[in-house]
Structure 1
Amino acid sequence: MNSLKSQVFILIVLSIFGSAFGIKCWACRSDSDPKCGDPFDNSTLAIADCAQVGELPHLPGVKATMCRKIRQKVNGEWRYFRSCAYMGEPGIGKDERFCLMRTGTYNIFMEYCTCNSKDGCNSAGLVRVNALTVAITTMILVFMTRVFQ
């Protein structure tokens, strides 16, 4: 029983610290991978750890701390870009439900969304399971198994 408690404790600690080091974001472009568009299909994509993404040459010392999704229409063609973000503010007024929108001449439209509420938040509605939720669910199941034996 002590070994089981130790394993559950380690799982909880790892899930808490694992999420504290940085955000993970989807990184893709719909012009090279159609699954990157909307609806988003991450079945063949790996999620990028933004803490591991290098600095940009034009932003020395700035680290990626958010995710972003860019949706743009150029001459009638939609393109989607998902990546780690270095600058900006999540959503508008910190409300991630809202994105910045810009229009231009020659039928150009751009929507720029940033978020940092959870890993993979630039997936456009994909519900992801938090590691802490998995740990708590595991604890409950272990407890229930022990009680009803």
Structure 2
Amino acid sequence: MKAIVVIFSFAAVFCLLEVATSIRCYECNSYYQQDCSDHFDNQTINMVDCSAKIANASRCRKQIQEMWIEDHWDIRYIRQCASIGDIGDYEGRQCKERAGTYKVKVRYCHCDNQDGCNTASALSSLLGFSLPIAVFFLLKLLR
């Protein structure tokens, strides 16, 4: 009986580890989806599992494109998974600005530790707290 409890306990811990290392991001484009623009409504767009879309996905990207089209600035927001990109200051809230071609401005924001950027932030703290307690109880069961 104790062996079964130990096996299930370790299986549960490994499931938590897998969830904690998986990154999930929002993926949308305001050109096609109006609710993708700022002020972003995360209730209407679901997060996607980035590991199934991009190899080595480790962060989320928000790209803001400003283009001068027909006498006005058109702003588009693109949210996606990413495997590269510098995490901005203040946990990714500060974006990097790039000058594009004539009348195009682009800002890139990368984050890997906020809700909607990486669900591991909440789980890793839970795991760091609960793992030693689980090991303690497993050792007690084995005695």
TM-score by length of 1: 0.61
Structure 1 residues 105 and 118: alpha-carbon distance in aligned structure 2, compared to 1, 3 A threshold: closer
Find runs of 4+ consecutive structure 1 residues off by over 2 angstroms: 12-21, 103-107, 129-136
Query: What CA deviation, in whole Å up to 9, does each residue of 1:64-96 have, x standing for no partner?
Result: 11100000101110000001011122115x852
Task: State how far apart, in whole Å, the 2-side matches of 1:29 and 1:119 are.
Answer: 19
Equivalent runs, 1:1-149 vs 2, <5 Å? 13=13, 16-55=16-55, 63-75=56-68, 76-92=73-89, 95-121=91-117, 130=122
Structure 1 residues 51 and 119: alpha-carbon distance in aligned structure 2, compared to 1, 3 A threshold: farther
Structure 1 residues 119 and 19: alpha-carbon distance in aligned structure 2, compared to 1, 3 A threshold: farther
Structure 1 residues 104 and 83: alpha-carbon distance in aligned structure 2, compared to 1, 3 A threshold: closer
Query: Per residue, is there more helix in 1 or in 2?
Result: 2
Look up the SS of the partner of 2:85 in the other structure. Answer: coil
Cα RMSD for the two superposed structures: 3.2
The unaligned stretches of length 5 or more in structure 2 are 1-8, 130-143
Q: How many residues align?
A: 113
Using the aligned pairs only, state the percent identity: 35
Q: Which deviates more from structure 2 when the two are superposed, residues 41-50 or residues 102-111?
A: 102-111
Displacement of 1:113 in angstroms is 0.6
